[in-house]
Chains A and B, each alone.
Chain A
Amino acid sequence: MATLARSEVLALDRAARARPRIPSGVGGVLPGTLLVVLALLGPLALMLRYSFNRFVPGELMVEGLTLANYAKFLHDSFYRDVLLTTLWVAALSTLICLVLGFPVAYALVRQVGPRWKSKLLILIILPLLMGNAVRTAAWMVILGDKGLLAALLSGMGLTPPRLMYTPSAVVIGLVSVTLPFMIVTLQSVLERIDPVLEEAAESLGAGHLTILRRVVLPLALPGLLAGTMLCFILSMNAYATPVLIGGPQFHMMAPEVYQQVAKAMNWPFGAALAFVLMTVTLVLTTTANVLVQRRYRRWSE
């Protein structure tokens, strides 16, 4: 193959640059894509490979091709319980988010003026971005044995329940983390529903609950689904809340992954735990998605 002279290369280069077009799309996305491939996809693939390795204490790189780590997860009742706890805590938090989030989103869209709406939205989003460490610390101060709630209850002459280090406290903490996500997601979907539909139903004599059930909820279903999945995924993977509010006796999946990978240095098992967590979350959310979509089609017919 003939090699190009330097002057020819420069001429080609100039010609390419002179062409009137927006800088090439591929060139723009390449560096970012490279970072995601190298720092996320590659490491995930490597971790998946590790989950099939054998574990020899004290040695990190032992090649192997075994399902032993996944079998250990299935046979060890401790880890099965950890997964079950994670599932029910996440499901309960998500349900509470749905029940509490919908009225707020609906009120924001239908009953609040535009000026107040943007102010209230900021108020809802700000706590979301204050960091899990700060928010968890605050809940420790509120729910602790000598916390705000206990002081208020004993001030009223009631015996405060022991909340700190209980699953209930973890659910409360998780709901406060994920509820803003639910409200913002629902709000954006409700915003797109024409209020005329609700007015029409009302003028035909439907009560408010009937309107919600027969008009608003079916139309808002995609948003309800998106918000539910987001809250569920966030709760399944929560770290700070279960560790600090749940205490040492309370176990959820994400802290166990950290424990195995960074503390016990049992990478194969930690990797298997991480993939069990991701797969279970993915399968559940996809199944829910498919089931609800099918139901939705029947509903809208």
Chain B
Amino acid sequence: MSRAGIRRTYGAISGAVLVFIVLPLVVIVWVSFFANRILAFPASGYTLDWYARALDTDAFRDGFVTSVETALFATAASLTLGVPASLGLVRGRFPGRDAVQALLLAPMVVPGIVGGAALFIAFIEVEALLDIQVAGTLGGLLVAHTLIALPWTIRLVSASLASADRAIEEAAASLGADPLTVLRRVTLPAIRPAIVAAALFSFVISFIDLEKSIFLVGPGRTTLQIALVNYLEWNLDGTVAAVAAVQILIVGTALLVSDRYARLAQAF
């Protein structure tokens, strides 16, 4: 095959694969404007009614609020735990550091369903032991989502710390800055882009989680993803498409902003 032929072959395969990856998102946004009562092709007309319907559906509205609350908390908590942990992992010297790092990244490796089932059982054990409710409460959800976001924060922040120049920190220290000042005035500003990216990324990771949350939601307290799946089991209409379109807009914006601070591909 000629060089140009090889190029064309790669181009054709890549183009088809890109369409395959992006097509679902385009289609779901497109059909959210269809007037059809049940989602079907071709469109019988176009309307914005589904967006109003989505806003009127309690499950979606409440789910959205719960998801945003949970994701905001998970973001704050994963930064509070993750930034010091990254500093400790990258700058600290202590025995068993590799093991601790593996442990901190473990929530990413253990499948969501398995981790969720284990957490659910543990929560009910705690309930029986202490006589307080945990499963199905916001508290339980917050613990799970912090756990989901933590390894991503540590990955992004650690990568940035590892590539930051230590000489500047040493220079600041030799000029008489105490460790806390060095941290506040030199180290943290240097990794600020990574912290911003980690915050946005944590928000998204928590917002879209399905597998862990499915065990931990309770009556009257459901995240948006669970509300979507519950609805999809019985209906396929424009309401779901409208919610999906809004979610694509929010997540897409967060990720595009995040990409300006740290390359998204770095997180994988």
Residues in A lying within 8 Å of B, measured CB to CB = 18, 20-33, 35-37, 39-44, 46-47, 50, 60-61, 100-101, 103-104, 106-108, 111, 118, 120-127, 129-142, 144, 146-148, 150-152, 175-176, 179-181, 183-185, 187-188, 207-208, 233, 236-237, 239-240, 243-244, 254, 257-258, 261-262, 267, 270-271, 274, 277-278, 281
Contact = CB atoms under 8 A, between A and B. Distances in A.
By Cβ-Cβ distance, the 6 closest A-B pairs, closest first, are: A25-B92, A28-B88, A138-B24, A131-B208, A146-B40, A151-B41
B92 A127 contact: no
25 contacts: A20-B173, A25-B89, A29-B84, A29-B85, A29-B88, A29-B89, A31-B81, A36-B104, A40-B115, A44-B118, A50-B121, A127-B21, A127-B25, A129-B205, A130-B25, A132-B211, A136-B229, A137-B232, A137-B240, A138-B24, A138-B27, A150-B41, A187-B265, A239-B210, A254-B111
B contact residues, range? 35 or more
Contact of A179 (B17, B117, B146, B215): B17
A208 B6 contact: yes
Contacts of A139: 24
B225 A131 contact: yes
A188 B265 contact: yes
Interface of chain A: mostly helix, strand, loop or mixed: helix
A136 to B, nearest CB: 7
Contact of B121 (A30, A41, A46, A125): A46
Contact of B232 (A107, A133, A277): A133
Contacts of A207: 1
A33 B208 contact: no
A20 to B, nearest CB: 6
A186 to B, nearest CB: 11
A130 B252 CA distance: 8
A239 B122 contact: no
| Listed residue (B24, B82, B93, B251) with the most chain A CB atoms within 10 angstroms of its CB | B24
B264 interface: yes
B121 A104 contact: no
B68 interface: no
A111 B7 CA distance: 8
Contacts of B88: 24-30
Interface in B111-130: 111-115, 117-122, 124-125, 128
A176 B21 contact: yes
A32 B104 contact: yes
Given A141-B28, A150-B41, A233-B111, A29 B104 contact: yes
Contact of A40 (B20, B118, B244): B118
A203 B14 CA distance: 26
B155 to A, nearest CB: 12
Contact of B24 (A32, A40, A127): A127
B236 A141 contact: yes
Given A103-B14, A139-B24, A274-B118, A28 B84 contact: yes
Contacts of A152: 41
A43 B119 contact: yes
Contacts of B80: 31
A151 B106 CA distance: 45
Contact of A36 (B107, B122, B180, B247): B107
Interface in B179-205: 179-180, 182-183, 187, 204-205
Contact of A141 (B27, B81, B111): B27
Contacts of B244: 133-134, 137-138
B150 interface: yes
